[in-house]
Homo-oligomer: A and B are copies of this chain.
Amino acid sequence: MLAKRNKNDSPQAKVINISHGDGGLKTGELINRCILKYLKNEILEKLEDSASLYIEAKNIAFTTDSFVVEPIFFPGGDIGKLSICGTVNDLVTTGCTPFVLSLSLILEEGFPLKDLEKILISIRKTIEEINLSNNGADLRIVTGDTKVVPKGFADKIFINTSGIGLNQSNIEISPPKIKVNDSILINGGIGEHGLAILSQRKEFNFKTGLVSDCAPLNSLVNDICKASDKIHAMRDATRGGLARVLIEMAQASKTTLKIDKAKIPIKKEVRGLCEFLGMDPLYIANEGKMVIFVESKDGQKVLEAMKKNKYGKDSQIIGKVVKKGQGIVVLNTEIGTKRILDLHYSEQLPRIC
């Protein structure tokens, strides 16, 4: 439709309007006064259609994620922090150093500019934290895009972040490298992100002190890779939870994994809420949990390194790779029974990320 000119089209508008996305003067205003204000660097400010980059590495990682989380602000984070952490955590799973990001916004007409600013500030802070321990690299957003859709055609804000990571070592870290006897580790409690989101939904009426575990895991992965050169695979346990990651890793490596349920860090409050809601914490999304497969002789050394990291205090060795096989995950439960994990057929919770 041709959007009608309305009060939101004034230069003093405090909300996003259709002309913020049309490529004209107001798009320029939004980019210059809002986006560049927080994310400016000498590549992004050129505002070219693509960013020209010089890279030293021959091995790179490339990833993309769209974020549609609801609500956009939640205990422990927001859609901005989530999108940067999600993409950076995907890059570091291959042992790469996060190098550059893209940021693409789909905004709903009427979205408050002050919320957009809060999100951009959160993005900047998250990138600043990442750069405290980024192997000397200076992660930046170097290219972007902004689209606006009329009210009712999107939900407030959707963010896509894509990223490139540089791999300057020759070690391949990837699920097919998983070997029999590998130790399996995780850096802390599961289920916190999903339950923190759930507690904010109007349909649910419970209070919880739980906050999302949303965090950038680059410094943790650096510490892990410094502790051992026998890291075989890593993956962050997001949608589908720890269960999904374990199943996918078992399938990709054609191995059987044995996991001790009692060893999996789960906060008391997560346990309680899950019982109350009839949910299984193994399948609830995390946004700051990495599952690591390492040669067993180095398991303890890696565990100790992880425990020293801010995001690894509750790390545990939760199981091991027991044999070559058809790609299954056997869970030894706390009451001594065995259970084979499968992918759930239906969702537990939509718009978790």
Contact = CB atoms under 8 A, between A and B. Distances in A.
B203 A2 contact: yes
Contact of A350 (B1, B46, B65): B1
B58 A105 contact: no
A49 B235 contact: yes
Interface string A77-108: 00000000000011101101000101111100
Number of copies: 2
Residue among A49, A104, A345, A348 having the largest count of chain B Cβ atoms under 10 Å = A49
A50 B56 contact: no
Nearest to A160: B160
Interface string A302-345: 00000000000000000000000000000000000000001111
B154 A152 contact: no
A288 interface: no
A64 B142 CA distance: 10
Contacts of A22: 239-240, 344, 346-350, 352
Residue among A48, A239, A347 having the largest count of chain B Cβ atoms under 10 Å = A347
A352 to B, nearest CB: 8
Interface string A144-185: 110111101111001010111101000010110000000000
A236 B50 CA distance: 11
A66 B244 contact: no
A238 B24 CA distance: 11
A96 B54 CA distance: 13
A63 B91 contact: no
Contacts of A344: 22, 24-25
Contact of A63 (B143, B150, B201): B143
A34 interface: no
Given A19-B346, A236-B49, A346-B9, A65 B145 contact: yes
B143 A64 contact: yes
A88 B238 CA distance: 30
A209 interface: no
Interface in A20-74: 21-28, 46-56, 58-68, 70
A59 B50 contact: no
Contacts of A202: 1
Given A68-B106, A154-B154, 8 more contacts: A2-B203, A9-B346, A22-B239, A24-B343, A47-B248, A48-B175, A51-B62, A62-B164
